[in-house]
Structure 1
Amino acid sequence: MSSWHSLGLEVTYQVLGWVAFCSWSLSFYPQAILNYHRKSVVGLNFDFLVLNLTKHMAYLIYNASLYFSPAVQRQYHQKYGDNEMIPVALNDVAFSTHAVLLTGFTVLQVLIYERGGQRVSKVCVAITIVVWASAAGCFFSALRSHSWLWLISVFNSIQVAMTAIKYIPQAFMNFMRKSTVGWSIGNILLDLFGAVTNFAQMGIQSLDQHSLVNFYGNIGKTLLSLEVVFFDLLFIVQHYLLYPIRKVNNSTVEDV
């Protein structure tokens, strides 16, 4: 197994990884705090929540398997070479675990706070059922052939697909309401910073190893960062340019 060539780059890699972990982990709290203060989840799209929970569960399965499982790591090295480093760091596993817990907590808030008639769409329910049914089928297929790297790659593909579509319902809701009230911009700013530092961490590893394998060997992490940057910039434009905060009854409507 390959090792680091530069201590400085290794330290930078670890620092960037944990900065990304902190930023991405903290990004869950502004929305939860906003919901608590408003005692309402009106403005938060429920399809986004369900798809987000599916995404983070799939990402946790991928990260934890590749980081902890010797069998998966062995198959990774067989495919990409014994000298290649495993492209998942401890901060990736920690983030995924935290993300599942905090997204679950936000789902709990939906159950107890004012919803304003909002509900999960039938399309979202259908997508979720198809995704997990397909994942179960892949699991039983891998069980026979012991294709564990292929199986976790399926979960990595799920998280990429869910990241690509999970933001769409919220962006569309903001467009229809011509407002981002109830949708925390603090979440988006932290999410964006986490994506940039996550991508930079991968770049540091490539620089040290003189290889781009970690980018396509963990294509899910690469695409995750790019997708998050795209949609976060879209939400920033919606919040600050298209639908800025306005005065209501001589008071300012504020988002956390």
Structure 2
Amino acid sequence: MSAWNSVPLHVSYEALGWFAFVCWSISFWPQVILNFRRKSVVGLNFDFVLLNLTKHSSYLIYNASLYFSSAIQKQYKHKYGEKEMIPVAANDVAFSIHAVLLTAVSLSQIAIYDRGSQKVSKIAWAIVSVAWTVATVCFFVALHNHHWLWLLSIFTTIQVTMTVVKYIPQAVMNFKRKSTDGWSIENILLDFSGGVANYLQMAMQSIDQSSWVNFYGNIGKLLLSLVSIFFDILFIIQHYVLYPERKQRKSETTPEYDNAAKSSDPTLSQNV
């Protein structure tokens, strides 16, 4: 590992990293708790959860491989420079493990709780199948020539693609329902805070090393922050501006509310 030049920047890097870890990790819990309290997953888009599991699994493979494998670290330094720092921190690995586990919990809730007429779309299943097929083929190619850093770039591509695609079904679903009921806004606020902290953490390392390799050498982490922030802002606008909570409370006072929620348009989760 290359050495830090500035102690304050190093401390800021670690603090921001673990702050992002806390925000992002806690962000999974409000939705899980909301599902548990309602004993229902109506309003949560199933495509989002399935795509999210693929995204976080890819991110875990990338982070754990680059953080623990000396062979992959050697290939990274050969490509970007011997003095460059590895752009994955312990908090990145810890977050990825937690994210995969909590997303799996959300999937189990979909299996056991009331889901109305919602289901995972064929498009989402197709996207996930293609992603893992490509990953499997590339693994055997890398196994033959030991181009492990190239393989990680494939998982980065999958991760970024899933990050972009996964939010779209939920955003479209909220738009069609004219409501964010069943979708935890606390999740979004924490995710937004984690995304900003993650971006600032990368900036601390770049400033200390006087190099921007940290950004383009870990483009997946950069795009993860930027794309998440963009969609978080969109969901915040949907919740507080377009479909404010007061309207949801009003709708919940009507006898038709429960039936309407359970009879949601079955095509809602078909949009990716």
Question: Which TM-score band applies after superposition, normalised by the shorter structure?
Answer: over 0.9
Matched, 1:198 2:202: no
CA distance in 2, matches of 1:122, 1:249: 35
| Aligned residue number for residue 243 of structure 1 | 243
Matched, 1:128 2:132: no
The one-letter code of the counterpart of 2:140 is F
Task: Give the secondary structure class of the aligned counterpart of 1:43.
Answer: coil
| Aligned residue number for residue 14 of structure 2 | 14
Unaligned runs of 5+ in 2: 258-272
In the TM superposition, residue 156 of structure 1 has moved relative to its aligned partner by 1.1
| Aligned residue number for residue 185 of structure 1 | 185
User: What TM-score comes out, normalization by structure 2 length?
Assistant: 0.91
In the TM superposition, residue 127 of structure 1 has moved relative to its aligned partner by 0.5
CA distance in 1, matches of 2:4, 2:116: 53
Matched, 1:32 2:32: yes
Aligned residues: 252
Q: For residues 147-226 of structure 1, what are the structure 2 equivalents within 5 Å?
A: 147-226=147-226
Instruction: Give the alignment's Cα RMSD to 1 decimal.
Output: 1.2
Q: For residues 97-112 of structure 1, what are the structure 2 equivalents within 5 Å?
A: 97-112=97-112
In the TM superposition, residue 230 of structure 1 has moved relative to its aligned partner by 0.2
In the TM superposition, residue 210 of structure 1 has moved relative to its aligned partner by 0.5
CA distance in 1, matches of 2:27, 2:237: 18
User: What TM-score comes out, normalization by structure 1 length?
Assistant: 0.97
CA distance in 1, matches of 2:167, 2:93: 22
CA distance in 1, matches of 2:9, 2:253: 54
In the TM superposition, residue 244 of structure 1 has moved relative to its aligned partner by 1.0
| Aligned residue number for residue 46 of structure 1 | 46
The one-letter code of the counterpart of 1:76 is Y
Q: Deviations over 1:15-43 (max 9, x none)?
A: 00000000000000000011011110000
Unaligned runs of 5+ in 1: none
In the TM superposition, residue 2 of structure 1 has moved relative to its aligned partner by 1.9
CA distance in 1, matches of 2:21, 2:2: 24
CA distance in 2, matches of 1:71, 1:249: 60
CA distance in 1, matches of 2:200, 2:72: 25
The one-letter code of the counterpart of 1:74 is K
The one-letter code of the counterpart of 2:204 is I
Q: Any runs of at least 4 consecutive aligned residues in structure 1 with deviations exceeding 6 A, and if so which?
A: none
